[in-house]
Amino acid sequence: MRGLLASSVGVTCAAALALSLTSPAVAARPVSPAAVRPASGAEAPGSTQSLPLAPLASRDFTLAPADEQGLPRRDVRHFSLAGVIWDDPDTELHGRVQIRTRAAGTGTWSGWQDLEAHNDDTADPGAAERNSGRVHGATAPLWVGDSDGVEVRVRAEDDRRAEDMARGSRTVTTTAPLPKGLRLELVDPGESAPASARREAAAADAPHRAVAPRSAPTPEPAEAPATMDTPAPTPEPAEAPATMDTPAPTAEPPEGAAAMDASAANAGLAAPGAIEIPALNRQQTEQELFALRAGELTERQRAKPYIGPRPRIVTRRGWGADEGLRERKFVYTKKVKAAFVHHTASGNGYRCTQVPSLIRGIYRYHVKSMGWRDIGYNFLVDKCGNIYEGRAGGVARPVLGAHTLGFNSNSVGIAVVGSYGSKKPPAAVTNAVARLAAWKLGLYGANPKGKTYLKSGGGNRYPKGRKVRLNVISGHRDGFATECPGRKLYRKLGSTRTTAARLQGR
């Protein structure tokens, strides 16, 4: 996969774009602080505790010690998001990963919760990001709220197969070994976002109303070293309702050249340092399209641009990204031909006001724990329908993500915050995904109800080099053998395509 490297200085020059288009707007020994090793600079908002897992004493005598690893119940410093990583990103974890946590406010222990043990949201094989030497295999992160105690267990799964014998067959049971270097990552997202954004976010961050379709679509034994951490957000209910909840960032983010670059990448869409990119109507969006891509539009596109009105997007500054965590340069692909819809598999027990913290947690997990250059998704959508900028480089530009192994080139990754295997996504989610796709795909002339061809970069579904015909709006599972974006959300993609196409004027 060949990305187009762009100096962030060049992005700053894009500020000359027409700003007039912007509309107004009971525990084991606690971890000793001395045993904690920093995962990043002391001044960075948020931090990560990294705890090696070790063989557990199992009651199942058929299991070898290495087949069950974990961490006995223990005190830790505050964290809000957890995941398990391992050394080799090309190794799959065939087993069950479970965690239970103690709420910091009440001291109550949760039941066992599963972590999705996939390893398929990542950069393509051969990509510089994947070959950096820093990348790890990992589970999906789980949002658990403000916690100060943890217990983990990882158990290898059995592989049963029939084996032919001279007088018949027999069932042979083997256990796949667990990956080497298993570690528990406990992430404190910190409290970093513009203080000036509180009142503005409270006023402007109500979720958008549902888009009414023109016609209803049918659509460790030994004490292990850890990593440093700091206080985290408040605990949340097991299943918070998707109500009119609004994100309210809390503190000033670190300033610097990287933060300025991230903001400048959206020049012409919002003022420098803006916490959001405002919504536009259709006429304003078409004017913006001509300003951004005039030299690339065909005569037919100029006469009849099919593009949905630009939705409101919370910027990286709006959710409090620490721009010092990511790599400085932006990497681009050529165009956007398809959108892959994901779920973060991080659980649904969050309030929408907590989403900036949750995204900061995912961002830190992707960069500091998994070793990526930035958060993997291009955009995120919460259950209230709020849309957030993901990977830095400009929301209107073809930023190369790390979201669909084998198909990151010429695509955009949209992740719905939550788990949607058994839970139906709220209408606010599907409508927000449709609005975002109608605009983003429209910038590149893509029809949400159409098909397109993408060349596989390699994966478990399609070999490297094969040209694959896909829906322009596809689920992650269409490009990779995975459950993502969850059965319930995947079933909604048909109506999402219909709504997005209508919003484009098709």
pLDDT at 19 over 60: no
Asked, for residue 293, whether it belongs to a domain, the answer is: no
Mean pLDDT score of the chain: 81
pLDDT at 391 over 90: yes
Q: What percent of the chain has pLDDT over 70?
A: 73
pLDDT grade, residue 170 (50/70/90)? Answer: low
Instruction: Kindly report the three-state secondary structure assignment for every residue of 143-200.
Output: EEEEEEEEEEEEEECEEEEEEEECCEEEEEEEECCCCCCCEEEEEECCCCCCCCHHHH
* Token pair of 56 as six digits: 């557990």
Asked, for residue 20, whether it belongs to a domain, the answer is: no
Alpha-carbon gap, residue 299 to 241, rounded angstroms: 47
Provide mean pLDDT across the span 239-245: 42
pLDDT grade, residue 137 (50/70/90)? Answer: very high
Asked, for residue 299, whether it belongs to a domain, the answer is: no
pLDDT at 443 over 90: yes
Q: How far is CA 206 from CA 111, 209, 353, in A?
A: 32, 9, 10
pLDDT tens, position by position, 331-376:
999 999 999 999 999 999 999 999 999 999 999 999 999 999 999 9
Provide mean pLDDT across the span 61-79: 84
pLDDT tens, position by position, 458-484:
888 899 999 999 999 999 999 988 899
Q: Which of 24-28, 161-165, 434-438 has the highest mean pLDDT?
A: 434-438
Tell me the Ramachandran region of residue 234: left when phi exceeds 0, alpha when psi lies from -120 to 50, beta otherwise: beta
Sequence-ordered list of residues with C-beta below 8 angstroms from that of 312, at least 6 positions apart, any chain: 204, 208, 276, 277, 278, 279, 387
Alpha-carbon gap, residue 269 to 20, rounded angstroms: 9
Residue 442 contacts residue 369 (beta carbons within 8 Å): no
What pTM, to 2 d.p., does this model score?
0.79
* Between 128 and 268, the higher pLDDT residue: 268
pLDDT grade, residue 165 (50/70/90)? Answer: low
Q: Is 95 helix (H, G, I), strand (E, B) or coil?
A: strand
Task: Supply the pLDDT for residue 66.
Answer: 66
Alpha-carbon gap, residue 231 to 339, rounded angstroms: 36
The CATH number of residue 368's host domain is: 3.40.80.10
Angle (deg, nearest 10), helices 427-442 and 282-293: 40
Task: Supply the pLDDT for residue 63.
Answer: 55
* Between 158 and 35, the higher pLDDT residue: 158
Question: Burial, 468: exposed, middle or buried (Cβ in 10 Å; 0-12, 13-18, 19+)?
Answer: middle
pLDDT at 84 over 90: yes
Q: Is 16 helix (H, G, I), strand (E, B) or coil?
A: helix
Total number of domains constituting the chain: 1
CB atoms within 10 A of CB 38: 12
* Token pair of 68 as six digits: 């069950």
Task: Supply the pLDDT for residue 213.
Answer: 37
Q: Which of 150-164, 295-309, 384-398 has the highest mean pLDDT?
A: 384-398
pLDDT grade, residue 59 (50/70/90)? Answer: low
Q: Where are the beta strands (DSSP E) in 224-315?
A: 226-227, 276-277, 313-314
Buried b (16+ CB within 10 A) or exposed e, 334-359: eebbbbbbbbbbbbbbbbbbbbbbbb
Question: Burial, 63: exposed, middle or buried (Cβ in 10 Å; 0-12, 13-18, 19+)?
Answer: middle
pLDDT grade, residue 169 (50/70/90)? Answer: low
* Token pair of 310 as six digits: 């630009």
Closest CA to 407 of 340, 495, 352, 500: 340
Provide mean pLDDT across the span 402-423: 95
Alpha-carbon gap, residue 335 to 160, rounded angstroms: 45
Q: How far is CA 356 from CA 186, 250, 399, in A?
A: 17, 10, 21
pLDDT at 40 over 90: no
pLDDT grade, residue 125 (50/70/90)? Answer: confident
* Token pair of 32 as six digits: 């000793």
Asked, for residue 300, whether it belongs to a domain, the answer is: no
Asked, for residue 245, whether it belongs to a domain, the answer is: no
pLDDT tens, position by position, 41-53:
333 469 999 999 9
pLDDT at 88 over 50: yes
Provide mean pLDDT across the span 172-177: 71
Asked, for residue 188, whether it belongs to a domain, the answer is: yes
Alpha-carbon gap, residue 147 to 251, rounded angstroms: 21
Alpha-carbon gap, residue 190 to 364, rounded angstroms: 10
Asked, for residue 445, whether it belongs to a domain, the answer is: yes
Provide mean pLDDT across the span 240-245: 42
Report the range of poorest mean pLDDT among 88-97, 108-117, 235-244, 275-284: 235-244
Question: Burial, 487: exposed, middle or buried (Cβ in 10 Å; 0-12, 13-18, 19+)?
Answer: middle
* Between 185 and 124, the higher pLDDT residue: 185
Range of the domain at 93: 26-205+220-237+305-506
Q: Which of 188-192, 204-208, 441-445, 457-461 has the highest mean pLDDT?
A: 441-445
pLDDT at 209 over 60: no
Question: Burial, 14: exposed, middle or buried (Cβ in 10 Å; 0-12, 13-18, 19+)?
Answer: middle
Tell me the Ramachandran region of residue 458: left when phi exceeds 0, alpha when psi lies from -120 to 50, beta otherwise: left
Provide mean pLDDT across the span 177-198: 80
pLDDT grade, residue 121 (50/70/90)? Answer: low
Task: Supply the pLDDT for residue 297.
Answer: 83
Asked, for residue 19, whether it belongs to a domain, the answer is: no
CB atoms within 10 A of CB 252: 15
pLDDT grade, residue 123 (50/70/90)? Answer: confident
pLDDT tens, position by position, 211-238:
433 333 333 333 344 444 433 443 433 4
Alpha-carbon gap, residue 57 to 53, rounded angstroms: 13
